[in-house]
């Protein structure tokens, strides 16, 4: 049986790029690669939930962070996991500066486009990881 790849976005409340990261995660898990991915609530990791910790230690994990604080990456590592790939929303913006996010609660057409670009990049990484190990 193939392993599912964990997609863990930061919570990003109040930050537009955090919202973009979460949207990208939903697109991967619900639309692009639903059969081979799942997600874990970041708060469970930070609270020390044993099942969530076991998941990040045993599954290939992709983190998505909305700013350099890198809460998703830091908390996966604190839980004993090692992200197989780390995505930063700002890197997408750097490559597509024409895409300006409208607001935290309403990404707008450009924000959704940014999320989709990121989601496609993550899905490609999922394809590499799901058959490894």
Least distance between ligand SF4 and beta carbon 132 (Å): 26
| Smallest distance from ligand SF4 to CB 53, Å | 19
With contacts defined by CB under 6 A, name the span among 46-54, 60-68, 111-119, 121-129 that binds ligand SF4.
Answer: 60-68
Per-residue HEC secondary structure of the chain comes to CCCCEEEEECCCCCCHHHHHHHHHHHHHHHHHCCCCEECCCHHHHHCCCHHHHHHHHHCCEEEEECCCCCHHHHHHHHCCCCCCEEEEHHHHHHHCCCCCCCCCCCCHHHHHHHHHHHHHHHHHHHHHHCCCC
Q: Which residues from 7-26 bind ligand SF4, rule CB under 6 A?
A: 10-12, 15, 18
- Total interface residues for ligand SF4 by CB under 6 A: 11
Question: Using CB under 6 A as the criterion, which residues of the chain lie in contact with ligand SF4 when the complex forms?
Answer: 10-12, 15, 18, 65-67, 69-71
């Amino acid at each position: 049986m193939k392993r599912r790849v964990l997609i863990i976005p930061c919570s990003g409340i109040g930050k537009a790029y955090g919202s973009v990261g979460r949207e990208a995660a939903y697109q991967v898990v619900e639309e692009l690669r639903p059969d081979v991915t799942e997600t874990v609530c970041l708060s469970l990791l930070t609270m020390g939930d044993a099942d969530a910790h076991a998941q990040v230690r045993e599954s290939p994990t992709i983190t998505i962070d909305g700013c350099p604080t890198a809460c998703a990456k830091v908390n996966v590592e604190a839980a004993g996991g090692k992200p197989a790939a780390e995505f930063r929303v700002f890197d997408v913006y750097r490559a597509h500066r024409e895409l300006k996010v409208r607001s935290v609660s309403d990404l707008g057409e450009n924000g959704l486009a940014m999320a989709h670009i990121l989601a496609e990049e993550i899905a490609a990484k999922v394809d590499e990881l799901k058959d490894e190990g």
